[in-house]
Amino acid sequence: MTDTTTGAAAAPNPHLPPYAARGLKGRILSGVQPTGNLHLGNYLGAIRNFARLQNDYECLYCVVDQHAITVPQDPRMLAAQTREIASAFLAAGVDGTKQIVFNQSMVPEHAQLAWIFNCVARMGWMSRMTQFKDKAGKNSENVSLGLYAYPALMAADILAYKATHVPVGEDQKQHIELTRDIALKFNNDYKVNFFPITEPVIEGAATRVMSLRDGTKKMSKSDPSDQSRINLTDDADTIAKKFRKAKTDAEPLPSDLEGLSGRPDARNLINVYAALADMTPEAVITEYAGAQFGTFKPALADLAVAKLSPITIKMSQLMQDPAEIDRILGEGAARADAIARPIVDQVYDIIGMIRSRPF
């Protein structure tokens, strides 16, 4: 770039975000809770996309241990599961040397900004969150205050980096909308144009993978039936068995997607096949039109084993060296902190909080 009046090289534009200067489309942040049983839904809805997006975006991938303790956690399990999620990111293809992989509690700006957002977000907004309503159930007076404030911490995870894009499964859409509302309200209240309005990235044929036991319920880490989900730690035999036993109806597969309406279990298996094979659900139904589940399920099981077992194997190799995972997390946290610190410092300035640290 040259200055047209003097012909001298122009100084880099200080307002251009660093990712734009590197020719990237934006900055991504996403998080996964270290609460055990990472499953096919987590993989197809989120983690697989983490690796796919990394050539076009600057990426921060976070194990959200502070979100995990909104419900009780065994301390030793929390540490082990934090390492397990970090290894899943890496095993799924995230490049830990180029991208930033870290755990939330190691970067204090998340909690600092979350407090500020607790004071920006309104009680009514939080009360409308379906994830809170599902998790609290009839017990809402007895759940932790943290569970209620959970979405404000999630907004802080994203906005501490001014992230522009967030890859997630469909169930997180409402939380991203709340993040946008918090950013807008902060900008309006303080008459600044500070936080970006973040876009969700909900991509693929299986953005909401359903339970293998009940096609109307989301596949979930907390489902008491292990048969309801494919865990990323399941071996090939277990994966095959679970797909063979997956609930379906007695009809053969139809020749088009309309024929699947009212058949949620069948629709779910078609979506999962499509996502694993990188096909559209239309193409899968065309290929298997008229087939019985006795034919389709083994094909799906083979496909799932072929796609998942390299990841499972890599994950267990990585987990044999916990010190190395901790090193990656620590290094990631230092790089994350270098981005978040100046942003949160600017937030303090905007709010009028004095920060003349003598240390």
Which residues form the catalytic set?
A: 135, 218, 221
Q: Can you list the positions of beta strands (E) in 235-349? A: none
Strand partners, 39: 231
Taking CB within 5 to 8 Å according to partner kind, which of ligand TRP, ligand AMP, none is near residue 29?
ligand TRP
**Cβ contacts of 95 within 8 Å, gap of 6 or more:** 54
Dist CA 42 CA 22 (whole Å): 30
CB count in 10 Å sphere of residue 55: 11
Q: How far is the CB of 41 from ligand AMP (least distance, A)?
A: 3
Which residue has the closest beta carbon to ligand TRP? 31
Nearer to ligand AMP, 61 or 288 (CB): 61
Binding positions for ligand TRP, 142-201, rule CB under 6 A: 154, 157-158, 166, 168, 172, 175
Among 64, 183, 301, 347, binds ligand TRP (CB under 6 A): 64
Token digits of residue 215: 């096609």
Task: Pick what 166 binds: ligand TRP, ligand AMP, none; C-beta below 5 to 8 Å, kind-dependent.
Answer: ligand TRP
Residue 162 or 175: which CB sits closer to ligand TRP? Answer: 175
Which among 84, 68, 35 has a CA at the least distance from the CA of 233?
Answer: 84
Q: Give the binding-site size for ligand TRP (rule: CB under 6 A).
A: 13
Nearer to ligand AMP among residue 45 and residue 215 (C-beta): 45
Which of ligand TRP, ligand AMP, none sits in contact with 25, Cβ below 5 to 8 A by type? none
Q: Six-digit token pair at 294?
A: 């006795």
Interface with ligand AMP (CB under 6 A): 32-33, 41-42, 45-46, 168-169, 171-172, 207-209, 218-219, 221
CB 195, CB 159: distance < 8 Å: yes
In whole angstroms, give the CA distance from residue 329 to residue 36.
18
Residues of this chain, 21-40, that bind ligand TRP according to CB under 6 A: 29-31, 33
Distance of CA 203 to the CA centre of its chain: 12
By a kind-dependent CB cut-off of 5 to 8 A, residue 157 interacts, out of ligand TRP, ligand AMP, none, with ligand TRP
In the complex, the smallest distance separating the C-beta of residue 34 from ligand AMP, rounded to whole angstroms, is 8
The position carrying tokens 């303790």 is 69
> What is the three-class DSSP state of 272?
helix
Single-letter amino acid code for the residue at 87: S
Residues 278, 282: Cα–Cα separation, whole Å: 12
Interaction site with ligand TRP (CB under 6 A): 29-31, 33, 64, 67, 154, 157-158, 166, 168, 172, 175
